Amino acid sequence: MLTDFGEKIFKRRIKKPKFLDYPLRSLKYLLLGFFLYSIFVAMSVTAIKVFLDSDYNKVADIKMFYFFAEISRFSFIVIAALFFLSIIFRGFWCRYLCPYGALLGIASLFSPNKITRNVNSCTDCGLCTKVCPSFIIVQKMKTVISDECTTCLNCVDVCPVKDTLHLQTVIMKKKFNKKYLAIAIVAIFIIITGIGMLTGNWQNNITKEEYLHHQRLLDSYGHPTDSKGLEELESRNGE
């Protein structure tokens, strides 16, 4: 929405040169690597368990609320900078900095479902490339293999030639109907959350009284993943 607004003001799409775009895109993968390293390499199984059971983690959502409700000047400047950069560059946060975006990028790269172009019927009109929010040159590809493709289907919707651009499973060469795709996504969501609910893993077991107790002590809880905090919690756990 921010970039749509920006494009109205600037009356054009702003695209960064490749020599800037590629290194910036790698930042989110570095951040993802940092988080994966911090969790799966730097922390022992005991440390992860201790963290999950810590008072800090029990009220991490309240802490996150106060992070925004009583925002520091530095955080405000960072968020404001991201806001304005997103007006100029489409998906600035998702494309360059978001570690979750990196995870989705990897999933997209290895997904068996790809946007596929019929080169014989394509008229090379360029509409698909023009509407792609990820700046992929769709009109030059037979199959879109890119970590930046979000399967938004903008390109498919805009293609004026019937049966030229579609989403299909690479292995079975079967076309996906958009309607069934939407139904499948909703069904997967319901099944996963339903399993969580039926197996009693959806709600945590923190009582309201415990929440209120922790809220009073909120400011005394620091992030326990620094070595001192974890050692303290591990030893408390041992006792």
Residues near ligand SF4 (CB under 6 A) are: 115, 117, 122-128, 131-134, 136, 138-139, 144, 149-155, 158-159, 161, 164-165
CA dihedral 65, 1, 90, 26 (to 10 degrees): 30
Choice between 32 and 159, CB closer to ligand SF4: 159
* Least gap, CB of 140 to ligand SF4 (angstroms): 9
Choice between 161 and 206, CB closer to ligand SF4: 161
Choice between 61 and 163, CB closer to ligand SF4: 163
Choice between 25 and 117, CB closer to ligand SF4: 117
* Least gap, CB of 136 to ligand SF4 (angstroms): 4
Annotate the chain with DSSP letters as a single string: -HHHHHHHHHSS-----HHHHHHHHHHHHHHHHHHHIIIIISS-HHHHHHHHHSHHHHTHHHHHHHHHHT--HHHHHHHHHHHHHHHHSTTHIIIII-HHHHHHHHHHHH-SEEEEE-TTT-----HHHHH-TT---GGG-SB---TT-----HHHHH--STTSEEEEETTTTEEPPHHHHHHHHHHHHHHHHHHHHHTT-SS----HHHHHHHHHTGGGPPPTTSHHHHHHHHHHHH-
Choice between 152 and 190, CB closer to ligand SF4: 152
Choice between 170 and 191, CB closer to ligand SF4: 170
- Dist. CA 227–CA 211, nearest whole Å: 26
* Least gap, CB of 37 to ligand SF4 (angstroms): 29
* Least gap, CB of 141 to ligand SF4 (angstroms): 8
* Least gap, CB of 187 to ligand SF4 (angstroms): 21
* Least gap, CB of 12 to ligand SF4 (angstroms): 18
* Least gap, CB of 179 to ligand SF4 (angstroms): 16
Choice between 50 and 159, CB closer to ligand SF4: 159
* Closest residue by Cα to residue 155 from 111, 106, 114: 114
